[in-house]
Amino acid sequence: MSASPPPFNLPPPFNVVQTGYELIRDDLYPALETGVDTARDALQTVEDTAIEPTVDMILGVPSKIASLIGDFGIEVAGYEVDAYDVLSGDFDDEETTTETIEGFLGFDRRHNEVDIVEGGNIPEQVTLNPFANDPAFKQRSLWNMLGEDGVQLTSGYTELNGNESAIFAPFSTYFPTSMWPYTAPDGGRYTVHNLANEPIESDFLGTKPIVEILMGRKLDKVGALPAFSVWGDIALGAPPVAGWLALGVLGFFTAEFWLPPILLATGQTVAYTGIGTGEIFFEVAKSLKTN
Amino acid sequence: MSMRRPMSGVTLSSEYATALRDWRRERERRSDSIKQAREEGMNETDIMADPNLPSPRGWWEYAVDPRGDGAPTSENSNAPGKLDRQSNLNTDSLVLTDWWDDQEPGMDTRAILSYQQMLKSEIDNVGDWFGYYLDEAWTPDIYVRTSMADYVPNMFNIFMDDDGDRLDPSKTEGFFKRTGQTLGQGIVGYGIVGGLFYVGVTRFMPKATDGIMEIVEKVVGGTFETIFNIREEFVKSNKRVKEAKEAITGD
């Protein structure tokens, strides 16, 4: 039986990386996960025991009042009748009354839906290459867009109760695709309109119905958040702008490390090409002269 | 093998590919007609004036009006190029068709290969050959890139899915995960391209250039030496033949 091979010793820098990775994987990540789970459980408990019952109670006020009205008996010609038997119009029955009271209290405002209408001025691919302009393929060069269509800072609009707000969309419209870090589910360019249609999964710790009533709109998608038409595209464009700017600044301040070798190598290449070409001509001339 | 599209971006429908082929054919046909007219002695003024010798058109001009029967515009139109959507003359316009709605999410490798094979079958001169390998072979027109991840060539992409296909962000549920994949693919791909460029330029390019120039110098020098040696041997051989003839004939 042959002896087992000696353990493979990694060089020190790899050892540090490996140890660091193991520390994160075995200690830090589980601790963080436990902490997050604990916090989530605590918040869930608060939501289940305090917030949700309170919200349900508030939302239940109209139906409670409608129910109380239904319990109210009136004597007509010696007969005891239900209050709803003599009421009409908006208080015809318990259900109608509930809706009427909801309207009085503004509770029905939470059903107002925000519509997102896309503009037709955003191409699928935006390029800085002036020769790659091809509107038939929805490929536009930035220069062609600015030259032909002028500066267009908005695209489409949001609409709530008949009020339209143009969506500010310079990043979605002009940011070069080669630096755009978003992808739409259909493979197309991800724009502020895609962001607007992203669903809001959170229930705001159970307070979503109250928040919807206060805001006067259904918070079913990101585009329904107040003033989305103003900040939506900025939220989408700011991270890539910051990222590429940071990379540019990093490149600028580290240029003394990476630029000289490139310039030196390029200079050497040019010099070798020149010297080589000269030597080739010299060789040809020498051959012609000798022969 | 998985039938999933192995990349994001969008692949345009086969109608677009066919339209591109038709446009190339029209361009070739018109160029050839004008070339032939020149060879037959027609001057440029006559060629320009001859309705049977229309000029070759660019893709955009063709896409706007494939039939070449006119493309009316309207000031109020929101169509590309302000084309009048109501005009019967614009029913052929590619930019007004809804073919774009038939796009396939991701890079449809088979559709692109078919398109490229179609283009290759049309190549019949050196110019077309160079044109194809400098452009369509690398960036086929029917594939439209929509995010930074799509700009990373396959050979520099290290992200694969379980089926061995290129990781496709558009198939991922959830905004943040999808963005993470697009960003990761893009940044890592660009990093690899940049790193290889840096290493290639700083480590290999000067030495490779020096070596290549030395080889060329030796090849050129050697070629000349060989040619002159052959010439010398040829002269010597002729001389020997001449001497032999003289010896035989006694002249």
Contacts of B212 in chain A (CB under 8 A): 276
> Which residues, numbered 185 to 204 in chain B, qualify as contacts with chain A under a Cβ-Cβ cut-off of 8 Å?
186, 198, 201-203
> Which residues, numbered 269 to 288 in chain A, qualify as contacts with chain B under a Cβ-Cβ cut-off of 8 Å?
269, 272-273, 275-277, 279-280, 283-284, 287-288
Structure tokens at A35: 């902490």
Chain B: closest CA distance from residue A96 (Å): 40
Side by side, the strands of the sheet bearing B10-11 are: B104-105, B10-11, B143-144
Give percent helix, percent strand, percent coil of chain B, each to the nearest 5: 65, 5, 30
Contact flag B213-A275 (C-beta cutoff 8 Å): yes
Helix A94-105 / helix A61-71 crossing angle, nearest 10 deg: 140
Hey, what amino acid is at A179?
Answer: M
Contact flag B206-A268 (C-beta cutoff 8 Å): yes
Chain A: closest CA distance from residue B192 (Å): 15
User: How far is the C-alpha of B37 from the C-alpha of A23, rounded, in Å?
Assistant: 79
Q: Going residue by residue through chain A, which has 291 residues, state the pLDDT in tens, using 9 for 90 and above.
A: 455 555 556 666 677 888 888 888 889 999 999 999 999 899 888 888 888 889 888 888 888 888 888 777 777 777 777 777 667 677 777 788 888 888 888 888 888 999 999 988 898 899 998 888 877 778 889 998 998 888 999 999 999 988 999 999 999 999 999 999 999 988 889 999 999 999 998 888 888 888 999 888 999 999 999 999 999 999 999 999 999 999 999 999 999 999 999 999 999 999 999 999 998 888 888 877 776
A237 Cβ contact partners less than 8 Å away, ≥ 6 residues apart? A170, A171, A172, A175
Distance of CA B4 to the CA centre of its chain: 26
Residue B77 has what pLDDT? Answer: 81
User: How far is the C-alpha of B229 from the C-alpha of B125, rounded, in Å?
Assistant: 38
Q: Going residue by residue through chain B, which has 251 residues, state the pLDDT in tens, using 9 for 90 and above.
A: 344 444 456 777 777 788 888 888 898 889 889 999 899 888 888 888 888 888 888 887 888 888 888 889 888 887 777 888 888 888 888 878 766 666 777 777 777 888 888 888 888 888 888 888 888 888 888 888 899 998 988 888 888 877 777 788 888 888 899 999 999 999 999 999 999 999 999 989 999 999 999 999 889 888 888 888 898 899 999 999 999 988 888 76
Contact flag A189-B5 (C-beta cutoff 8 Å): no
User: How far is the C-alpha of B146 from the C-alpha of A181, rounded, in Å?
Assistant: 9
Residue with tokens 């009316």, as numbered in its chain: B72
The dihedral over CA atoms of A185, B157, B5, A139, expressed in degrees to the nearest 10, equals 60
Contact flag B148-A177 (C-beta cutoff 8 Å): yes
Residue A227 has what pLDDT? Answer: 92
Residue A158 has what pLDDT? Answer: 94
Reported as a single tens digit per residue, the pLDDT across B166-214 is: 788 888 888 899 999 999 999 999 999 999 999 999 989 999 999 999 9
Contacts of B147 in chain A (CB under 8 A): 177, 180-183, 189-190
Residue A287 has what pLDDT? Answer: 77
Residue A271 near residue B207, CB atoms below 8 Å: no
Pairing between β-strand A163-168 and β-strand A73-76 as defined by DSSP bridges: unpaired
B159 in A contact zone (CB under 8 Å): no
Residue A115, SS3 per DSSP? strand
Residue B4 has what pLDDT? Answer: 43
User: What does the radius of gyration of chain A's CA atoms come to, in whole angstroms?
Assistant: 34
Residue A6 has what pLDDT? Answer: 56
Contacts of A138 in chain B (CB under 8 A): 100, 144
- Name beta bridge partners: A159: A115, A164
A32 in B contact zone (CB under 8 Å): no
Residue B81, SS3 per DSSP? helix
Residue A124, SS3 per DSSP? coil
Report yes or no for ipTM above 0.90: no
> Which residues, numbered 115 to 134 in chain A, qualify as contacts with chain B under a Cβ-Cβ cut-off of 8 Å?
120, 124-125, 133-134
Q: Which backbone phi and psi does B83 adopt, to 5 degrees?
A: -65, 140
Structure tokens at B114: 């078919």
Q: How far is CA B161 from CA A129, B9, B167, B168, B180, in A?
A: 32, 17, 5, 8, 15
